[in-house]
Amino acid sequence: MQDPSEKDLDPLASLVFIRSVHNELREYDGMRVGQSRPCPGCDSTDLRKNGYQRASKTFARLVTEEGFEEVGLEVQQYECRACGRSFQGDLSEHFYEGCEYAKPIVDLCRLHAQTHSYNACERLLQRLYGIQVDRDTIKRYDELFDDTVARETTVIGGAEASLPFLAFLFGDGDADGPPFVFTSHSALW
């Protein structure tokens, strides 16, 4: 049964939009992350690089015609020369503490959870952005933070879409300026 807050999307607009979302997110696949940080065991900064973590860190999970597709980052490992401890580099640029998916995905969940049930939110993320996050994870993200995310949205394919997420994907990283998609006449929608 459809949640009353769910709207039908324009299928063509949303298909084109999902493709561009996927293409932008795929840019992160295989990216090497993990800046040096003091040893979490003894605070020493006398470290050596110790290769990359075997399993990549999930940035986002895409819903494609072939099924789920992982966008994964390579995480730098360090070994402390003082105490011998091995640990991951600093991931705080891309991840909130304790969150499986990257910051922009978490923020996206939190924004849409303001106006949708967690079930409807999971479906909306799939249908509007082609992104998979299960409802329990969305619920956890919604409850994890004390602050609220600003509800800045625009309409894409008939549905409300997150402006900060679009700015992250298509913008120049300047949060104050509008992303190029809204200023260019060659925009896809």
51 part of the interface to Zn ion, by CB under 5 A: no
83 part of the interface to Zn ion, by CB under 5 A: yes
Cβ-count burial of 133 within 10 angstroms (0-12 exposed, 13-18 middle, 19+ buried)?
buried
Centroid of chain to Cα 104: 4
User: Between residues 21 and 39, which has the closer beta carbon with respect to Zn ion?
Assistant: 39
**Amino acid, res. 111:** L
Among 23, 44, 45, 64, binds Zn ion (CB under 5 A): 44
40 part of the interface to Zn ion, by CB under 5 A: no
Least distance to Zn ion, CB of residue 54, Å? 22
85 part of the interface to Zn ion, by CB under 5 A: yes
Query: Are the C-beta atoms of residues 117 and 100 closer than 8 Å to each other?
Result: no
64 part of the interface to Zn ion, by CB under 5 A: no
Centroid of chain to Cα 110: 11
User: Between residues 78 and 95, which has the closer beta carbon with respect to Zn ion?
Assistant: 78
| Span near Zn ion by CB under 5 A; candidates 83-91, 94-102, 131-139, 146-154 | 83-91
| DSSP β-ladder status, 57-64 and 47-52 | unpaired
39 part of the interface to Zn ion, by CB under 5 A: yes
C-alpha–C-alpha distance, residues 115 and 154, integer Å: 14
Helix (H) or strand (E) holding 137: helix 135-144
C-alpha–C-alpha distance, residues 9 and 16, integer Å: 12
Least distance to Zn ion, CB of residue 91, Å? 18
Among 82, 150, 155, 175, binds Zn ion (CB under 5 A): 82
Contacts with Zn ion: how many residues (CB under 5 A)?
Answer: 8
CA end-to-end distance (rounded Å), the chain: 29
| Span near Zn ion by CB under 5 A; candidates 28-36, 40-48, 125-133, 154-162 | 40-48
Query: Are the C-beta atoms of residues 109 and 67 closer than 8 Å to each other?
Result: no
User: Between residues 46 and 134, which has the closer beta carbon with respect to Zn ion?
Assistant: 46
Give contact residues for Zn ion (rule: CB under 5 A): 39, 41-42, 44, 80, 82-83, 85
